[in-house]
Copies of this chain bind each other. A is one copy, B any other.
């Protein structure tokens, strides 16, 4: 029986149970010692332990186990925290319909991902991948490269990550348009996406994965981009029709692309994506700067303090939409 839901108490009568879904390296929860009973689960034990937990910390974000193990009507955690930006892995209709609160790691990855996108944009403009190829061959071959200042970017996704990307690109004097689900000040609505993509030098995908965004970057949209333009995805792999992107690159509809996320992760050794011409492949690392896991731990502990004190949580996900709504 959940400590949190004991009748007649405003505070837990016994220590709440925190269930952590994850493997090494585990979160650093030292500050909660003695105040919470911490249990650990992996994919095989989650279903059995979930009903007894007050709080679930989804530390292993690649796992789909929550969705599969979520109890229907029975006892269940009152709060689920995802130690990442995207929550599409764990959402299921029962969780959406329940009164369980879902929070995410909003804020931790914004700046690192924005820097990563800037690194990719500049590397492509300055032709650095080719520079490395030529260095390996001991070949001195001068080329002209591109100026980034004055180019145009279209950043899709108007959450904190998309906004941080836009800020960073603007700091490099890239004219940047942000596209979100709903138009508001400084943010274009989806109806303007085609027009903005067609004139962009850089299209950056940083949207959450929802029913509306799944597969949004398809052959039609790649076909609409300028031949000199490049595409970057740091959102979710499922936003992109990978075969369509590979074809757009092979047929030179666009000049280049970089994917940090994929439909299937890790990308298998025999995936054709590794060797698509003009495609940069990186292993879902754009947000993971040194200390990221400590930051995620600290963020959870801070949220836990609020929860234990009965204060409202921040970073609350709109479960129907699948992300934390903007301000």
Contact B145 A285 (CB under 8 A): yes
Chain A residue total in the interface (Cβ 8 A):
51
Question: How far, in whole Å, are A189 and B221 apart by their CA atoms in the complex?
Answer: 53
Residues of B within 8 A of A120 (CB): 128
Contact mask for chain A residues 103-143; partner B; CB cutoff 8 A; 1 contact, 0 none: 00000000110011011101101101101101100111111
A168's partner among B141, B145, B172, B288 (CB-CB below 8 A) is: B172
Most buried by B among A128, A129, A291: A128
- Report if A142-B288 is in contact (Cβ < 8 Å); known contacts: A111-B147, A115-B149, A147-B112: yes
Contact A283 B141 (CB under 8 A): yes
A111's partner among B143, B144, B149 (CB-CB below 8 A) is: B149
Q: With both chains docked as a complex, state the minimum distance between the C-beta of A40 and any C-beta of chain B, in angstroms.
A: 22
Q: Which residue of B lies closest to A112 (CB)?
A: B147
Contact B144 A288 (CB under 8 A): yes
Residues of B within 8 A of A140 (CB): 265-267, 269, 283
Residues of B within 8 A of A129 (CB): 132
Q: Which 9 A-B pairs have the closest CB atoms?
A: A119-B122, A140-B266, A171-B171, A147-B289, A119-B126, A138-B274, A140-B283, A138-B269, A142-B283
